[in-house]
Amino acid sequence: MKATKTVTALALTSMLACRCGPAQAFRPFDGTDAAVTEPGEIEIELGPAEYLREGAERVLLAPELRVNYGFMPDWEATIEGEVAHALAADVPGTSLVGNAASLKGVLREGSLQQKSGPSIATEFAVLLPGIRDEHGAGVSLTGIVSRQWSWATVHLNAAAALTRERHGDLFLDTIIEGPHDWAVRPVCEFFYERDFGQFQTRSGLIGAIWQVKDNLAVDVAVRGARINDHTAGAIRAGVTFAFGVSKGSGLLPGLAAATPH
């Protein structure tokens, strides 16, 4: 019975903690934007702790880490993962989940690159095995369209994936941000995900991003979701910061804007 509970808890951890959508996110969202880190710059997205719950189950993600590196114009490479702790007293377990490596490229420079029209990007990810959970590997392909106006920024994501369990997965996502020149801008997100072998999720998120300075942003958000017949929720908070690196060693004089890319 204890082993069964452990497996159940780790499966729940995987369902809640793998950021659901196959797209590689930017904080505090599950989706992403049609922009990349500048060449020679590193952007780090850190979530010190995120609290998740579904029914009686509780999971703590501490920490979550995503590192983006701009290796050439209009292209970035990303590696990410998170440590999940099952909080039920009778279900021990800490696992490393949500591991992925990805490449994102801008196909059309637009308003996110200070040009006219929509920005369009694509992202390919390899979903890597975890530790004590998510033992298989998978792949995903995402299309992203972003448009920025003076009053709002909108990001649309559509992704298809083959999950680690060899199931097909579909992810559709909309992110809306408040005016980009506000120091603290309100944000919201809505997504639908269908894992054809396990579950479907409808999710909504509201929060805010505080642009402390050009290379530093702090985020906080609350997410609610319906996973199959159960409700779920999460409290998110984190920080995004960026810096330039030379090909040799040391820092470049300029620093990257933290959010969005």
pLDDT digits (tens, 9 = 90+) for 180-213: 999 999 999 999 999 998 899 999 999 999 999 9
Give residue limits of the domains in the chain: 2-242
Measure CA 93 to chain center. 23
What pLDDT, on a 0 to 100 scale, did the predictor assign at position 190? 98
CATH number of 2-242: 2.40.160.40
| pTM (2 d.p.) | 0.87
Q: What is the pLDDT of residue 197?
A: 82
In this predicted model, which residue has the larger pLDDT, 46 or 22?
46
Q: What is the structure's pLDDT at 173?
A: 98
207-257 pLDDT, tens digit each? 999 999 988 999 999 999 999 989 999 999 999 999 998 654 444 444 445
Tell me the residue ranges of DSSP E strands in the chain: 41-47, 50-54, 57-72, 75-86, 94-108, 119-127, 138-148, 153-162, 168-177, 184-195, 199-213, 216-227, 230-244
